[in-house]
Structure 1
């Protein structure tokens, strides 16, 4: 008998900590439906790693609740923190294979889930000042009535950025410390720190 789906959608006020969610997630084989999401208003971001099609179980669940209009942002990886160079370019995250995978997922979802419409947005075309662009475009889509999904790993940390290494002594150690500090926060703390700009985030 197949294992029942275990999809978790955490609220913006959840006290769960991503580092502990990660440990639980890696305790066995990771399936798409096992990757947890955080709901911030009408925006959905991953709390941990994701697989190639982890957002499809989310669409399946939401579509059964009557949610039919989506904007899905794709084309990149997610890190903790995300690195930005001296002129504001996001570095080391863009991956065209993700856009291709999510385009296939888009077609599959619209075929499988009645009435669902999905607009796909490639983030790699806006590498400079990526977070500012994401904020603007995400707000626009939400205000149009769409639910928005960021498909990359660690989406909850998308707005957490750090400057690229310019040869500063201790840079790598400081980056690791920042990562540990961020991932040990609660979901609620991270939403408070980075996501207050989302319309009606709670």
Structure 2
């Protein structure tokens, strides 16, 4: 049988509830999203490292609640009334640090969503105290929002994440590839995403399937193992 080669297809992430990989590092966050109707004050702040699953959980929640999902950086004043008519997930809240105008928009959205008896999910990387939110009223609202964190993955979850990332790109490497990668990459979702992207590109460039030898060659060029 001929070896399967990769095709130049975009990786499409599967963001459904059943696609989310529940493990000890994220089970509390998943339970909070699943039980969103019991959030204190009808709002929640979801934090975690880059690529840890915040976007996935935001879309899971949107499907459960009928919410709209928007990046904090894209928020404008004229969008606020329409968004506040329903529940809203605002992603990457930490990225509006230093943007006084957008912080004002988010402050108004926060207040109007809750005034309309809808729910609000905010996501970001790190603790809100580190986000350099200059608008004191918004910083106060964020500080008073119940928070749940996604933790770095253990090896079992990282293996499952790698398998999912490969599957999103329609790649099916042998199990020894994932076992090898677990020993070599940083224990983070961002590292998993980056290595899968790099292997996909290398596979296409060399017209070879994703294999342990291809992974070794790629990682040896990038630097020492963790």
* Higher-RCO chain (CA-CA 8 Å, sequence separation at least 6): 1
Fold similarity call, TM over 0.5: no
TM-score where L is the length of structure 2:
0.29
Q: Which of the pair has more CA radius of gyration?
A: 2
Higher strand share: 1
